Structure 1
């Protein structure tokens, strides 16, 4: 059975990791489009602040303090959404954390904790979402936020990379099971390129150097638009950012060469010329610094590649026009 995905104005949407980065951007954008939004994160003060902002402009929002690594918290989030809004139509697993450090230098506890949030948080949320959506008239959408790192390696963020590979494997396998059972649930994997969120400021950093993201970056709103497109259109996966798509293509086509070219990325992700002390980050607990969509590095506001994915007919028409125009100019010459 195919899901019947509703316009945003008719939806209730659950968003984890909703107090910063593209989670926050998605929450604001969904509410502005008329959706009811249930926001989840660990930082209660930040949650209440975001809800107040949405309510102040006439949106519909509520929140539930949630640690996605704790199954009971996620079950409580689902129950609270059903009690408050009568159910939900889209569930977005967006919460994430990271650790800057070589794989051999990170403690086993840090390795496990990155997985607790990034992988097990997605598992807990997906099971809760499927449990509700499979019996909901018309079904709905489950959207898991992975990364282009789901498809390629990276130094310094190896633990984060591993979780995103796991999220991809889990999501793709879950989709097959949903299809086999005829459940009306669209299962989508969103794979952003480098996005200008506060990720480096929130991440645990044991390198002794300034944590950063590799340019070029895209703005969080670019990811939010892709997520909300998937909430209304059944898509298997969406890569956000054309540069990211090219990086993945290079990594998969020339893997040995890509490995060598990625070595200098170490000094881009952890800047050797900018020493900094150990940063515990929000890996184990919130820092109380949420509430911002963007971090210290700002990203470009538009991705032509991502826009083309959302508007394929227009993209084809534009391409056809460019080809026709080129042919006409050739004849004139």
Structure 2
């Protein structure tokens, strides 16, 4: 109700009432001044009261009528502006208003029409950029797939393919020695079994890269546990985990730490020949520590290199 009273029509009516009030006061002052100063016979207190009363009644009626008539055009134009703004808010930038008048409202209408054209052009530009970005993403994905295939092909050729070739050669040699030198054939078959186990380990490591475990929005510790559980099902390795379940990092750091842990475990599968792996993950103040220790064949013992790898990263505070 109050919203309608404060509308443009009632504003016009109130302005007419205000003019009526000023006019009434002015007329009443003039008539009273004439009555007091000159005291004409045709002017009396009763006539002044009747005249002012009739004047007020007529001006009220005229004010209401004139207020509604004079505000109708302006109200319709403002309603059109409101509808246009609603269309823009809903994303319909093709809408526009046409007017043949030259006033302030027309200037606002023209500015809104220009704004709609600019916003429509921006939407087209954003759509074009989105399409280009999608094409770039597809191209980058194709390039990444090709590079990954090439890397897997190199790894298969350098590791598994050569080991399978060696298995074939040793198997043929063992078959030839089976009747004449069973002892040599047995040693060769033992080498075949060891090479087959190594080839199996290499293939598992490659499959770990080919079908990696993702965090998928899970916390880092949950993703590491998921990765270890999958490796336990495929490898004869005892894993010992010491994880800080309260560890909280930003998403980017978690992803990098997870990939480093994944790569380290893959290297252990491929090269270390380990049967026991211990992984620790925790945070102290602003530092994140990842300790990975295994009982594999390790590195060159002549160099001062421990089998324990220590990695640290900067967190959001920027302190190392």
Pick the TM interval, shorter chain: under 0.3
TM-score (norm 1): 0.22
TM-score (norm 2): 0.22
More strand, by proportion? 1
Higher relative contact order (CA closer than 8 Å, sequence separation 6+): 1
The structure whose Rg is larger is 2
